[in-house]
Amino acid sequence: LSLVGSEMCIRDSVIIVNNSLQRYGGDMAIGAYGIINRLLVLYVMIVLGLTMGMQPIVGYNFGALKHERVKATLKLSILTGVCITSSGFIICELFPHAVSAVFTSDEHLIDMASHGVRICIAIFPFVGAQIVIGNFFQSIGMAKISIFLSLTRQLLYLLPGLIFFPRFLGLDGVWTSMPVSDFFAFVTAVIALWIYIKKVEKKYPSSVQS
């Protein structure tokens, strides 16, 4: 998989999401998703900025075989990432109408976005950890794993969810497919990280501290 290929896959997944929204909720649902997406991207971009600061630290210490420092940096980055996305979760759950009203004055659109965002962010605190772990693998030169983890949400989990859930829940099924895919993407990232840590501990038992 190349970076260009991954970008095309993400673009195609957005098209499929929009098609599902159009089918089950019409143009108003697409507008609501635009509001939700802007809200979530705000916090995701902050986490991405965090990972940009993490990468040179992890890369340097990884190259110097200072695995305890790599692990400490990763732990701190995951904790910070979770705090960032958790703040977004709390704000959107407590004040969905207020944050949606920032983007539009249409009451029907605000109500739809308010309802959708509360479903979409159900697993949002874990998204911060998933993003950090994915970028961690990029920091240590494991680009294929990083790209795979970045695509798990859009391809491996989101698309099947968009096929399954809307059949039973309608528009709510479209919203539900998003936190479900976030959860499984998080689990996949944790499993990949766990496997990597076990390999490092086996190879360098004296250099990795718990």
Distance, CA of 88 to CA of 130 (rounded, Å): 15
Distance, CA of 83 to CA of 45 (rounded, Å): 14
In this prediction, residue 155 has a pLDDT band, given cuts at 50, 70 and 90, of confident
By C-alpha distance, which of 84, 107, 93 is closest to 36?
A: 93
Distance, CA of 89 to CA of 117 (rounded, Å): 9
- Token pair for 24: 């089950």
Q: Can you give the pLDDT at residue 90? A: 95
Q: Is 176 left (phi over 0), alpha (psi -120 to 50) or beta?
A: alpha
Q: What angle in degrees, to the nearest 10, is found between the helix axes of 3-63 and 159-169?
A: 120
Q: What is the pTM of this model?
A: 0.86
In this prediction, residue 177 has a pLDDT band, given cuts at 50, 70 and 90, of very high
By C-alpha distance, which of 6, 4, 17, 135 is closest to 77?
A: 135
DSSP string, 53-81: HHHHHHHHHHHTT-HHHHHHHHHHHHHHH
Q: Are the CB atoms for 176 and 169 separated by under 8 Å?
A: yes
- Token pair for 12: 């195609």
Q: Can you give the pLDDT at residue 8? A: 46
Considering the chain, what percentage of its residues have pLDDT values greater than 70? 90
Q: What mean pLDDT is predicted for residues 146-172?
A: 86
- Token pair for 59: 């890369």
